[in-house]
């Protein structure tokens, strides 16, 4: 009886329904040598989305620099501090603004956008007049940051980074309107024209006369128009001299 049971155990063959069947294992073993199909590559990010992300990161960095300007610390606007404030890596800041001058110019762009659309270095007298009222009203919109840009070391450093561009822009306006004037006279006129179209004029009229940005803008635009008319008349007179 025992021998018969042993014989049955030895001759047992698994059926296809048996979960211990060797057939699935055999199929797996047979396919082991086949190369696996590579996972599909991720779809490329559309260019508009990449650009939007880049612009958003740049704006965060500029806003962080502006916030540090508000703090009033003379050494506050560093790449490390801006990165920490913006929540990005320091390398990301360098990627958008490779030098400190670039970073400070980016801060200036941010302040202009915060004041009003279209604010920037004027390319002509018409451009200057078109944005003058919006510029002075914009100073009232972010007064703390404007005052900081005039009175703190980092603010003055930001303004100094734009000196060459500023001198070239206002010198070109005067040369266009009064070509008959001598070089020294044109330089003096350009300096006064730039002062009248600046935050320094706004701050002086605000602190000493209590004028709002709108009133200060009207007063300074009147002075600009008076200056330009005088320059044009003097240029014409000098041009007629033998």
Q: What is the mean pLDDT of residues 80-97?
A: 94
**Cβ neighbours, 10 Å, residue 213:** 22
Distance CA 73, CA 91 (A): 23
User: What's the angle, vertex CA 75, arms to CA 70 and CA 78, rounded to 5?
Assistant: 90
58 — pLDDT class (breaks 50, 70, 90) = very high
Half-sphere exposure in the Cβ direction for 37 (13 Å, CA): 1
- Predicted local distance difference test score (pLDDT) of residue 113: 87
At residue 35, the 3 state secondary structure works out as coil
- Residue 134: Cβ-neighbour burial (10 angstroms; 0-12, 13-18, 19+): middle
Residue 52 pLDDT more than 70? yes
Token code pair at residue 209: 């006369």
The answer to whether the CB of 159 falls within 8 A of the CB of 149 is: yes
Looking at residue 119, the DSSP 8-state letter turns out to be: -
pLDDT digit string, tens, across residues 170-217: 999 999 999 999 999 999 999 999 999 999 999 999 999 999 999 999
Q: What is the pLDDT of residues 115-156, one digit of tens each?
A: 887 888 999 999 999 999 999 999 999 998 899 889 888 888
């Amino acid at each position: 009886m025992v021998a018969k049971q042993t014989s049955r155990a030895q001759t047992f063959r698994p059926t296809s329904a048996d979960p211990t069947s060797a057939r699935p294992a055999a199929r797996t073993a047979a396919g082991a040598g086949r190369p696996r199909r590579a996972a599909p590559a991720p779809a490329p990010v559309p260019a508009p989305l990449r650009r939007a992300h880049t612009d958003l990161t740049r704006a965060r960095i500029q806003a962080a620099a502006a916030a540090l300007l508000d703090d009033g610390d003379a050494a506050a606007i560093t790449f490390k501090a801006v990165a920490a404030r913006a929540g990005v890596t320091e390398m990301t800041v360098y990627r958008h603004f490779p030098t400190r001058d670039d970073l400070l110019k980016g801060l200036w762009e941010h302040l202009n956008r915060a004041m009003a659309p279209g604010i920037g270095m004027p390319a002509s007298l018409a451009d200057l007049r078109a944005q003058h009222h919006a510029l002075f009203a914009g100073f009232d919109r972010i007064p703390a940051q404007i005052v900081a840009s005039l009175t703190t070391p980092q603010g003055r450093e930001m303004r100094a980074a734009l000196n060459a561009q500023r001198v070239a822009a206002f010198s070109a306006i005067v040369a266009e309107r009064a070509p008959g004037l001598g070089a020294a006279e044109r330089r003096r006129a350009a300096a006064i024209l730039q002062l009248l179209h600046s935050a320094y004029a706004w701050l002086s009229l605000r602190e000493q006369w209590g004028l709002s940005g709108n009133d200060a803008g009207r007063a300074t635009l009147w002075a600009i128009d008076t200056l330009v008319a005088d320059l044009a008349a003097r240029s014409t007179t000098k041009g007629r001299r033998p």
